[in-house]
């Protein structure tokens, strides 16, 4: 038999050519199913790796808090916590929303050179922000007597934040190195915890406590760049320009507003409670919020790792995005239910019987995670669609709503009132994202109909006329222009 002759089946008759098509179609369908299964498994593996990494990293706050309370005492711990809160503002400012915008740009980049330019511009922008923030903060520290006495602690924190700003977490997540990102996160946190336990022996070691608090991100930056330069080659150091840095700022500006809103909703609760309520309410709320923030921190890392897959295109993209969406929401809902159910026994065991007032706060925080899950899933879709202005608009409205609700609720009902205000605010944010999703879907439907009509040589109104109303006879398909 020659190469050009068709294969002869066992029964001796040539296979008709038109019957070979379904075989190819079946093979293609099987290949698509294997690709979809592989994508789903990959998404699940990445999510699990990142979650485990963040869970390991939360060993630091869970162990360091009771340790420092006993070693340095409540008063000096207060100085440290205040300094950490101030430096947290610097960290949020330096990030400037690059974690979302740069991650998306990396996910859609097609070459090493393009990724390198994105990394260089993003890190260049971060360095500029860090320099400005450091000058401002150190000026404040030297001007305020109570802060000037601890100037070394603030200086060490700023230096470590500057090194940590060079950690290109968005690059690792964008190129699919979620497992390596999780390893860096876990290893650096556990190393910092070990160094804290070994070196901090009393109030005179507050500067060391600050050093190890900011150490994990700096260590992750050093490890990441070592592997990038020696083994991975996902990006390389290149020179950037002011124009590229300006583009990075422009792309992330809307997300910066979202970051500020998150910071306000996370820090203003304690500040307002301290002004209008008692220190006991501050302690109850702060302790309950710590458990909720632990859940949010773990799942936030998972959500960021899923963004590259949300921007993917292909036959299985819709099903994969649906799987990710339900998975993220389910994780938030289950975590919230665990907080609600376990608070009555866990709080007295971990914090002591004197902190039983944290129980209702923790339960309300758990209830809020259901609404956080809805808002996070929809925000993930909006980020993947590059509609950052919508995120900024919704986040700003949610922040203002929360501040308006928080002040009277905290004044009237203390920590429970602040917790209720947080639940209502998260529900309000979720509602805004739902409204945005509905409006965007309607707009996309109108655009798709207009495109279909244009392809058929019709106006959109003509295309609408081909859609039968209830009771109308459906025209023959051959007479309807498609």
In tens, the pLDDT along 350-369 reads: 776 777 888 999 999 999 99
Q: How many residues does the chain have?
A: 482
Structure tokens at 433: 């994202």
> How much is the pLDDT for 279?
62
- 118 within 8 A of 105, measured Cβ to Cβ: yes
- Which residue spans within 211-339 are E strands per DSSP? none
Separation of CA 288 from chain center: 21
Query: pLDDT tier at 44 (50, 70, 90 boundaries)?
Result: low
- 368 within 8 A of 360, measured Cβ to Cβ: no
Q: How far is CA 357 from CA 259, 275, 278, 340, 361, in A?
A: 30, 19, 13, 14, 7
Other CB atoms within a 10 A radius of the CB of residue 450 amount to 14
> How much is the pLDDT for 197?
93
Domain boundaries in the chain? 53-240, 254-450
pLDDT at 164 over 90: yes
Other CB atoms within a 10 A radius of the CB of residue 455 amount to 11
Give the DSSP per-residue string, 108-167: H--SHHHHHHHHHHHHHHHHHHHHHHHHHHHHHHHHSHHHHTTHHHHHHHHHHHHHHTT-
> How much is the pLDDT for 386?
75
pLDDT at 115 over 80: yes
> How much is the pLDDT for 466?
37
Structure tokens at 415: 């920590």
pTM beyond 0.85: the answer is no
Q: Which of 331, 309, 334, 333 is nearest to 322 (CA)?
A: 309
pLDDT at 22 over 50: no
Residues 306 and 432: their CA atoms lie apart, in Å, by: 22
Phi-psi region of 470 (alpha: psi -120 to 50; beta: other; left: phi over 0): beta
- Please give the share of the chain, as a percent, with pLDDT higher than 70: 73
For residues 113 and 466, which has the higher predicted lDDT (pLDDT)?
113
Query: pLDDT tier at 12 (50, 70, 90 boundaries)?
Result: very low
Q: Which of 374, 380, 387 is nearest to 429 (CA)?
A: 374
> How much is the pLDDT for 2?
44
Mean pLDDT across the chain? 77
For residues 411 and 469, which has the higher predicted lDDT (pLDDT)?
411
Query: pLDDT tier at 20 (50, 70, 90 boundaries)?
Result: very low
116-125, 284-293, 388-397, 451-460: which has the minimum mean pLDDT?
451-460
Q: What is the per-residue burial (b if ≥16 Cβ within 10 Å, else e) of 373-406?
A: bbbbbbbbbbbbeebbebbbbbbbebbebbbebb
Separation of CA 197 from chain center: 30
Separation of CA 56 from chain center: 18
Maximum C-alpha span of the chain:
98
- Please give the share of the chain, as a percent, with pLDDT higher than 90: 26
Identity of the highest mean pLDDT range in 6-20, 28-42, 149-163:
149-163
């Amino acid at each position: 038999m020659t190469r050009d002759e068709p294969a002869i089946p066992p029964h001796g008759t040539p296979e008709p050519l038109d019957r070979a098509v379904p075989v190819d179609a079946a093979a293609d369908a099987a290949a698509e199913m294997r690709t979809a299964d592989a994508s789903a498994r990959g998404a699940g593996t990445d999510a699990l790796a990142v979650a485990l990494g963040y869970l390991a990293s939360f060993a630091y706050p869970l162990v360091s808090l009771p340790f420092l309370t006993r070693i340095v005492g409540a008063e000096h711990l207060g100085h440290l916590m205040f300094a950490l809160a101030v430096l947290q503002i610097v960290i949020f400012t330096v990030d400037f929303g690059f974690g979302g915008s740069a991650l998306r740009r990396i996910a859609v980049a097609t070459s090493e050179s393009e990724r390198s330019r994105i990394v260089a511009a993003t890190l260049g922008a971060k360095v500029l922000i860090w320099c400005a923030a450091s000058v401002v903060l150190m000026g404040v520290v030297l001007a305020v007597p109570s802060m000037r006495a601890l100037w070394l602690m603030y200086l060490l924190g700023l230096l470590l934040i500057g090194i940590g700003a060079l950690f290109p977490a968005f690059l690792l997540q964008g190129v699919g190195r979620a497992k390596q990102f999780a390893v860096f996160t876990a290893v650096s946190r556990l190393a910092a915890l070990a160094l804290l336990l070994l070196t901090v022996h009393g109030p005179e070691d507050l500067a060391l406590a600050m050093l190890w608090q900011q150490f994990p991100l700096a260590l992750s930056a050093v490890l990441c760049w070592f592997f990038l330069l020696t083994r991975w080659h996902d990006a390389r150091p290149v020179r950037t320009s002011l124009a590229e840095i300006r583009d990075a700022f422009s792309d992330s500006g809307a997300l910066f507003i979202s970051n500020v809103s998150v910071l306000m909703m996370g820090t203003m609760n304690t500040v307002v409670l301290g002004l209008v309520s008692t220190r006991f309410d501050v302690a109850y709320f702060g302790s309950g919020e710590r458990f909720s923030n632990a859940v949010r921190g773990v799942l936030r890392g998972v959500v960021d790792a899923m963004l590259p897959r949300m921007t993917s295109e292909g036959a299985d993209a819709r099903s994969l995005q649906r799987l990710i969406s339900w998975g993220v929401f389910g994780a938030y809902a289950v975590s919230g239910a665990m907080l609600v159910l376990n608070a009555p026994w866990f709080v007295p065991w971990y914090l002591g019987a004197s902190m039983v007032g944290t129980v209702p706060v923790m339960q309300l925080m758990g209830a809020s995670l259901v609404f956080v899950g809805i808002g996070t899933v929809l925000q993930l879709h909006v980020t993947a669609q590059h509609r950052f202005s919508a995120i900024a608009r919704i986040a700003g409205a949610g922040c203002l709503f929360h501040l308006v609700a928080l002040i009277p609720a905290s004044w009237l009902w203390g920590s429970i009132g602040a917790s209720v205000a947080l639940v209502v605010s998260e529900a309000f944010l979720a509602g805004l994202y739902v409204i945005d999703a509905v409006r965007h879907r309607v707009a996309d439907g109108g655009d798709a109909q207009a495109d279909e009509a244009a392809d058929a040589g019709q106006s959109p109104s003509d295309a609408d006329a081909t859609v039968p109303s209830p009771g109308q006879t459906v025209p023959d398909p051959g007479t309807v222009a498609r």
